Amino acid sequence: MLTRIIYVSRALSPMPLEIKDILLASRKNNPVLGITGALCFLDSNYLQYLEGEASTVNALYQKIEKDPRHSHSKILVHDQISQRAYPKWSMALLTWNEETKAIYRLFNPDSALDAYATDPASVPSLLEAWARTPNWMTL
């Protein structure tokens, strides 16, 4: 059974080097685990999308949640999916720019670009809209 988890969390220190280490670990581990997804770094907050087999996704989330490089993780979406949205991304990275902010505002007109105020109902569509843009760093 395929599952997805979308959560937000607060970065401990918003150092680009830290993000690089997280991406390197993701790109090493996720293909072995059959996990795909996306990581967004938004003004010191993370918004991550994880998809894969339910037990694997749940176990990885438990591990990530305990990572001291972030805190206050809050699940926005945790549900079953019929197919992967990002089968080619072991973990792609997106950050704010004018285009990604404009798309965020379309889906969250009342949020002041605050990842924690992201509407859980529309966050999968927000990620799909972002995914159609070239603002991703992939390997």
Ligand X SMILES: Cc1cc2nc3c(=O)[nH]c(=O)nc-3n(C[C@H](O)[C@H](O)[C@H](O)COP(=O)(O)O)c2cc1C
Which residues contact ligand X by CB under 6 A?
A: 9, 22, 25-26, 28-30, 39, 46, 48, 60, 63-64, 67, 69-70, 91
Side-chain half-sphere CA neighbours of 129 within 13 A? 15
Closest approach, Cβ 110 to ligand X, in A, equals 25
Closest approach, Cβ 35 to ligand X, in A, equals 6
Closest approach, Cβ 102 to ligand X, in A, equals 24
For residues 115 and 126, which CB has a smaller minimum distance to ligand X in the complex? 115
For residues 6 and 64, which CB has a smaller minimum distance to ligand X in the complex? 64
DSSP codes of every residue in 45-94: EEEEEEEEEHHHHHHHHHHHHT-TTEEEEEEEEEEE-SS-S-TT-SSEEE
d(CA 63, CA 103): 31
Instruction: Give the SS3 label for residue 98.
Output: helix
The token pair at 25 is: 């670990």
For residues 91 and 123, which CB has a smaller minimum distance to ligand X in the complex? 91
Closest approach, Cβ 64 to ligand X, in A, equals 4
The token pair at 75 is: 């699940």
For residues 57 and 126, which CB has a smaller minimum distance to ligand X in the complex? 57
